[in-house]
Amino acid sequence: MLMSSSQAVYKRILLKLSGEALLGSREFGIDRAVVADLADQIREVRELGVEIALVVGGGNIFRGLGDGAAGMERVTADHMGMLATVMNALSFQDALEQIDVPTRLLTGIEMRTIGEPYIRRRAVRHLERGRVVLFGGGTGNPFFTTDTAAALRASEVSADAVLKATNIDGVYTADPRKDSSAQKLPELTYQLAVEKQLGVMDGTSFTLCRDNKIPIVVFDLHQRGNIKRVVLGEPIGSIVRDG
């Protein structure tokens, strides 16, 4: 039974995961144990009464701008990357359904035997009915990142926030793995993130979230329970919003 979302700061979220987050200790593909653990964390958040949409990248399978696409025509490479995101979404759908979490997979590229074609009203209706909505296939168009797809879908379904799960515990002035003097920014504006090229998301993503007044919360995915902590309003990670 779902609890009231009164204790949650955000009532409807879009969770953005990179494909690399699914690797675990692998160099390629999907670590089912990692997916199962993330699915369980999503279940815990859903039980708060929060409506959840999910966008997963495809970099664990194919990177459209990586070595695997060297010499390949850009549009073809991007389509392959979008198909990889559908594979990851299917993996999450299976893991969630195994723990009795209802889901719907909506794809930006039509493939009716796998998922429903993306229709905004349909996506909103699924969210209202408590289903976890998985958005696969990016925007359905080449030249756009899955970060942009996440910002677009969040804007379309009127999400209260985009939760960007990363390998670092927030936004820093530089990459803390390379620069020991890098300072964490608990809060920053979209404009600062773009001007300083802080690398959290691309410029199009920031613009979409800024124009639709959707905050972006950047946090460490590898600390179990962080998704729930963000939803409950605990001050972890960094938040990007208008000043």
The CATH code that applies to domain 5-240 is: 3.40.1160.10
Q: 226: phi > 0 → left, psi -120 to 50 → alpha, else beta; which?
A: alpha
Quick one: which H or E segment has residue 127? Answer: helix 120-128
Query: What was the pLDDT predicted at 80?
Result: 93
Tell me, what's the pLDDT at 65?
61
pLDDT of residue 197: 84
The pLDDT score that the predictor gives to residue 126 is: 98
Q: Where are the domains of the chain?
A: 5-240
Q: What's the confidence (pLDDT) of residue 176?
A: 87
Q: For residues 216 and 240, is the Cβ–Cβ distance under 8 A?
A: yes
- Which residue do the tokens 């039980």 mark? 47
Report residue 67 CA to chain centroid gap. 23
What's residue 70's pLDDT?
A: 72
Give this prediction's pTM: 0.93
| Alpha-carbon gap, residue 5 to 101, rounded angstroms | 17
Q: How far apart are CA 128 and CA 114, in angstroms?
A: 22
Q: How far apart are CA 105 and CA 131, in angstroms?
A: 10
pLDDT at 243: 67
Q: What is the pLDDT along the chain (243 residues), one digit of tens a residue?
A: 565 556 999 999 999 999 988 998 888 899 999 999 999 999 999 999 999 999 999 999 987 666 567 778 999 999 999 999 999 999 999 999 999 999 999 999 999 999 999 999 999 999 999 999 999 999 999 999 999 999 999 999 999 999 999 988 999 998 888 888 999 999 999 999 888 888 788 889 999 999 999 999 999 999 999 999 999 999 999 999 986
